Structure 1
Amino acid sequence: MIQLANMLHHKGFNITIIHTKYSCPNLFNYPHFTLHLIPDGISESEVSTTEVVTMLKLLEDRCIGPFRDILAQLSSDDSIACIIIDAIWYFTQEVADNLKISRIVLRTSSVGSFLAYAAMPLLQDRGYLSIKEGVNKFLVKMVEGTKKASGINFNTFKELEEPELAKLGEKFIVPAFPIGPFHKYFSASSSSLWTQDRTSISWLDTQATNKQPFLWVVRPGLVHGMEWLEILSKEFLEAISERGYIVKWAPQQEVLSHPAIGGFWTHSRWNSTLESICEGVPMICSHFHGDQMVNSRYVNDTWKVGIKLEKGLERVEIETAIRKLMVGKEGEDMRRNIMSLKENLDHSLKPGGSSYQSLDKHISSFRTPV
């Protein structure tokens, strides 16, 4: 969202950000934005122990009133072109309607995974999936809220998801704007909530091109009850010291663009998938939840730019996947495929390209009465 705000500010718009007090990015880095904070009353313990859907309901209950008040105050001089908000905050549509403000949603996942979310309630009704009732209700509300919006922003590009965008157009009247990848306009590192360990780059500088040592990012607190690497034995750390390097966080875009990188073992969230395509780096995919399952299937089956691990974290499958990707014929094919996608992506951002035109069209819609 910060990247999109920077893109629009660069095009001449004044940007006001309404954010919860919890987990607010450091906006001292963005003096060109105006900030309004919502008093959400959220604690660290609530975030760590509350289920995602329950947390979203908690946010709705606590934030809708302050959000309405701030937006009403801002709209009093009739200067708001629109509000752009995450599709998850579906409950803001009623506020926008009452204030007669155009609401545009940002979907931070792929078009393909959004279509999968939209289909889940139907699949649930027909018995193909078993979804928790709360999750099912949330998905229905998110999709319905998106249908009522004035537009949808997607962090993707047309050539990557053309069939999915066509299907979206059949099912949704609301216009869609594939204007990504956002990080090619403004780096994701500038809005990171974590401090990046740049020693990862200096370590990569000492490595030969496309060899098999590994850089491993292990985020602090990722394993419950552990601060960082306590779960790894001293013997293990000594054994890998000559061929591996572990950091708490890394400047991912710079890492992926480094010539020493031959592959990316990823959890398959959309930003990581898109950044890997941008740098022409084939992937090994370990999905866990949410859009990761759809993204990893596209990487493996549709775009053929990586390998989806089908057995979880199974040693033999992992070793086989690494060898295929790094030194096998399959890896060569994946590199050709992903470099073709990278070329299409680069072209999409140039004048006349699909994302370039889509962004211009999107901005024109702000300036046209809705």
Structure 2
Amino acid sequence: MFINSSHKNYVKSWQNMKSWIKSHSGNNHHHHHDNYYYKSTAVSVIGGRNAEIQLLLGVVAAPLIPHPIKCNNHSLNKKINDHPIEASMAKYIVQQYIAAAGGEHALNSINSMYAMGKVKMMASEFIEGDGLGLNNGKVMKIKTAKNGTGEMGGFVLWQKKPDLWSIELVVSGCKISAGSDGKVSWRQTPWHHSHASRGPARPLRRSLQGLDPRSTADMFSDSICIGEKSVHGEDCFVLKFEAEPSSLKARSSSNVEIMRHTVWGYFSQRTGLLVQLEDSHLLRLKSPKDDVFWETTMESLIQEYRTIDGVNIAHAGKTCVSLFRFGENSEGHTRTRMEEVWTIEEVDFNIKGLSLDCFLPPSDLKKEDDQEIISDDDDINKNSRLESKNIIHHVNNPRFITAIKGLHITILLTENIHNRLVLHTDITSRFDQCPGFQIKTISDGLPDDHPRDGGKFLEVFDSLRTKTKPLFKDMLTSDVLCFDLDGKERRRVSCIIADGVLGFPCDVADEINSNIQLLKTEGQENSRAHGLILNTFEELDEPILNQKRTICPNLYPIGPLHAHLKKKQTTLRPSSNSLWAEDRTCIDWLNDQLQNSVIYVSFGSITTMTINQLIEFWYGLVNSGQKFLWVIRPDSIAGEEWRSKIPVDLVLGTKERGYIVEWAPQEEVLAHPAVGGFWTHCGWNSILESIYEDCGPKREPKSDVFNGSFGPNKSFVKDEAEAEAEEPNT
């Protein structure tokens, strides 16, 4: 988990938002994301609740406006009669809007913005058939959300400029992230690769729904006035803005053409404020036969203006979306309606400490050449579908990996772990390649001769809590953990990333900085932390991660961690990460064995057993008649010297079919073709390594056989294995 030591109000507000979402969503977060796609035949676009949520988030959550916004001079002294009458009227209406929104000076004083809001989304209607929109048309199906309850959620939005923005929105356990760094607009969802919109970076439409008057004025300064209209009893001037042909071309591709994208703004004649925002765009999906067209129309009613720091901000509204699919044949015509009701709970301007890193795109952002979908309209492309992800190729979490670039990171190790690492790992040369990293050490409070094994876990954690905690506090409050930048600047710690089983980092953060509340248990720390970094991946733990996101939206599954290093070592000199010297003679032994003939036995780096347990397992291996490679650490047998107590028949049996080492290069062993099974204590790293190398783990028979064994992990492996065994052969 990691703890942000600033933005107290924003963190608390987001936590309150999470609680509100949870209380209103019931069991909505217990679901899986099913793959879906749009077919050319007349089928429902809304293929079940999960697909419905995907469609809602894909279309409604983070749509963009048609064109980049450029800053304009709205000075009242500037002549507006130098333009055609429609454009001159529009500029005058925009000037009145600026005055109503707070004035030029107030709007120009804003350099950044933060907003938090609640949303309720639902697909209100689905129709397909001939003659849509006609009284004599054929209606084949109507689908309405049950009880009109919709999907509850919330969002947080950050913005510096119209083209520098970032939003995270969670609805019913599904999270979508989107943003723009000024060069590219991007989006990331649980069911799709991170991908960029074609063409130049564009602002978020949600910002122009009464949150960013400055950008709204800039966009409509190039519009024309096309008349008047009454909106919910309010007489309004109607301004129209169309995307330039060059922008439409930049957003199109060989198989998708953006034909038009138009925005209308309805400005009150009474107050001067924007009361409705409407936009519509039409795209053509090219095919060898009949082309298919998608028309998307969005209407946002903007309400409840309140003054924040002298600026009028809309705090509520409702957006209605209509998707109309036509072309091919009349049976393929479909129309889908969606709604979003939103409220703004908190707004603030000129946010201190808002870094540009907040707007960086994910590192796995798909290049345009690789994209099936080449515009932000991908969620309505009939040829788009959710690609199945390969475990090996998607172990990175892009938001976290991108975020650490440019940061200065201090890795704090206990002296015991550090001393053991340097015996077998050249960590100094490794970190020489990373100038933004440094290593510091801290005492775990135990004597050098303490075993620190699985049987002494409670002593280790007790010492960390009572002895290491005050040392850690002293290091944070002094200059010990400061990062020295060429002797010119010393940076103090502003964020703590701590192992989830350690309780004291949150306590220390609370004592040093009142912005961090006291957190007393691991579960509480996880739920109140600013984010969680987990050594797992979506394909393995998707249901668990989805539920976890309802508690902590900032979730970063970056595992399997060992796979990152393995990839890098394809170009770098291999180096060990082991706490013990690896005996590579076992690889030579494996080279002489038949394929899938060896069971690999290793009970981890801290597990211990008694001499009686050792002999019992040994007899089992020898009597099985199976070839085996067994790792027996020097410190893994509790009590007296054990080698002299091994029966002769076990020694002879091992010479025939076994090989024993004190430590092995486990990843290489698991990848070896001779290894057909893995007998493990079910430590999480071992499970991930076996999955990565496609070598199924064999579980030890009882959860209490070893000190330091991992019962929940074993239950997980057992459940998965039983589920796999029950699947019918196909």
Between the aligned partners of 1:230 and 1:102, the Cα distance in structure 2 is 59
Pair 47,215 (structure 1): closer, same or farther in 2 beyond 3 Å: closer
Give the match for residue 596 of structure 2.
210
Name the structure 2 match of 1:193.
579
CA distance in 1, matches of 2:530, 2:648: 56
Once the two structures are TM-superposed, the CA of residue 62 in structure 1 deviates from its matched residue by 1.0
Structure with greater strand share of residues: 2
Task: Kindly indicate whether residue 487 of structure 2 is the aligned counterpart of residue 82 of structure 1.
Answer: no
Task: Check 1:225–1:304 CA distance in 2 against 1; reply closer, same or farther (3 A cut).
Answer: same
1:205 to 1:295, Cα distance in 2 relative to 1, 3 A: same
- Shift of the 208–39 alpha-carbon distance from structure 1 to 2, 3 Å rule, reads closer
Root mean square deviation of aligned Cα:
3.6
**1:255-291, CA deviations, whole angstroms, 9 ceiling, x for partnerless residues?**
0000011111111111111100000111210144667
Residue 299 (structure 1) aligned to one of 717, 721, 730:
717
User: How do 1:283-322 residues align onto structure 2 when only pairs under 5 Å count?
Assistant: 283-286=697-700, 287-288=703-704, 292-304=710-722
CA distance in 2 between counterparts of 1:237 and 1:300 reads 32
- Map of 2:466 onto structure 1: 61
Aligned to 1:253: 667
Q: CA 1:242–1:193 in 2, change beyond 3 Å: closer, same or farther?
A: same
Compute the displacement of 1:230 (Å). Answer: 3.1
8 Å CA contact 1:219–1:228 kept in 2: the answer is: no
Matches of 2:586 and 2:514 in 1, distance apart? 45
In structure 1, what is the Cα distance between the partners aligned to 2:544 and 2:682?
18
Once residues 546 and 446 of structure 2 are traced to their aligned partners in structure 1, the CA distance between those partners, rounded to angstroms, is 40
Q: Which residue of 1 aligns with 2:636?
A: 222
Judge conservation of contact 2:682–2:714 (CA < 8 Å) in 1: yes
- Cα offset, 1:34, TM superposition: 2.3
- Mapped to 2, the partners of 1:29 and 1:305 lie a distance apart of 41
Determine the structure 1 residue equivalent to 2:526: 146
**CA shift digits 1:323-349 (9 cap, x unpaired):** xxxxxxx69x89x99xxxxxxxxxxxx
In the alignment, which residue of structure 1 is the partner of 2:537? 157
2:584 is the counterpart of 1:179:
no
Change (3 A) 1:21 1:48: closer
Q: Which amino acid aligns with 1:299?
A: V
Q: CA deviation at 1:242?
A: 1.9
Deviation, structure 1 residue 157: 0.4
Alpha carbons of structure 1 residues 16 and 250: separation in structure 2 relative to 1, 3 Å: same
Structure 2 CA distance for partners of 1:189 and 1:85, relative to 1, 3 Å: farther
Distance in 1 separating the partners of 2:553 and 2:451: 33
In structure 1, give the amino acid aligned to 2:669: V
Structure-to-structure mapping, 1:1-370, within 5 angstroms: 11-24=405-418, 25-26=421-422, 28-31=426-429, 32=431, 33-47=437-451, 51-72=456-477, 73=479, 74=481, 77-78=490-491, 80=493, 82-100=495-513, 141-170=521-550, 172-173=551-552, 175-187=554-566, 190-211=576-597, 212-227=626-641, 229-286=643-700, 287-288=703-704, 292-304=710-722
Change (3 A) 1:228 1:64: same
Tell me how far apart the structure 1 counterparts of residues 709 and 656 of structure 2 sit (CA, whole Å).
Answer: 35
Q: Over residues 294-319 of structure 1, what are the superposed CA-to-partner deviations in whole Å (9 max), with x where a residue is unaligned?
A: 2222222235489xxxxxxxxxxxxx
DSSP-derived class of the 1:161 partner: helix
- Quote how far apart the aligned CAs of 1:98 are: 4.6
What's 1:136 paired with? Answer: none
- The runs of 5 or more residues in structure 1 that have no matched partner are 104-138, 307-329, 338-370
Per-residue displacement from partner, 1:158-214 (whole Å, max 9, x unpaired)? 1101111122233x2352211100000125972211111101111000111012411
The separation in 2 between residues aligned to 1:283 and 1:219, in whole angstroms, is 19
193-202 vs 236-245, greater mean Cα deviation: 236-245
1:83 CA displacement: 2.1
Distance 1:156 1:291, change over 3 A: farther
Q: CA deviation at 1:14?
A: 3.4
Specify the alignment match of 1:320 in structure 2: none
* CA gap 1:189/1:11 in 2 versus in 1, 3 angstroms: same
TM-score by length of 1: 0.63
Matched AA of 2:503:
Y
TM-score (norm 2): 0.34
Change (3 A) 1:284 1:142: same
Match of 1:110 in 2: none
Q: Is the 8 A contact 1:218 1:228 kept in 2?
A: no
In structure 2, distance between residues paired with 1:167 and 1:215:
39
Indicate how the Cα distance of structure 1 residues 227 and 192 shifts in structure 2: closer, same or farther if over 3 A, else same: farther
Read off the aligned partner of 1:22 and give its amino acid letter: N
Deviation at 1:145, TM superposition (A): 2.1
Residue 47 of structure 1 contacts residue 55 of structure 1 at CA under 8 Å; is this kept in 2? no
Deviations 1:60-116 (A, max 9, x none): 21112221122232359445452211122211113224545999xxxxxxxxxxxxx
For the 8 Å contact 2:446–2:460, the answer to whether it is kept is no
Structure richer in helix, relative to its length: 1
Indicate how the Cα distance of structure 1 residues 34 and 140 shifts in structure 2: closer, same or farther if over 3 A, else same.
Answer: closer
TM-fit CA distance, 1:38: 2.0
Equivalence for 1:368: none
Q: Quick one: distance in 2 between partners of 1:28 and 1:240? A: 34
Instruction: Return the alpha-carbon distance in structure 2 between the equivalents of residues 197 and 16 of structure 1.
Output: 31
Aligned length: 272
Q: Percent identity?
A: 36
Structure possessing the higher radius of gyration over alpha carbons: 2
Structure 2 stretches lacking a partner, 5+ long: 2-395, 432-436, 484-489, 567-573, 598-625
CA distance in 2, matches of 1:294, 1:281: 20
> Partners in 1 of 2:546 and 2:641 — Cα distance?
46
* CA deviation map 1:111-166 (0-9, x unaligned): xxxxxxxxxxxxxxxxxxxxxxxxxxxx9712122222211111000110111112
Q: Which amino acid aligns with 1:202?
A: D
- Checking the alignment, whether the CA contact within 8 Å between 1:18 and 1:35 is kept in structure 2 is yes
**Partner SS state of residue 153, structure 1:** strand
2-side partners of 1:219 and 1:8: how far apart? Answer: 38
Residue 52 of structure 1: CA displacement?
2.3
Distance 1:163 1:9 in 2: 25
Equivalent residue letter for 1:94: D
Asked whether the 8 Å contact 2:452–2:460 carries over to 1, the reply is no
In 2: Cα distance, 1:186 partner to 1:39 partner: 28
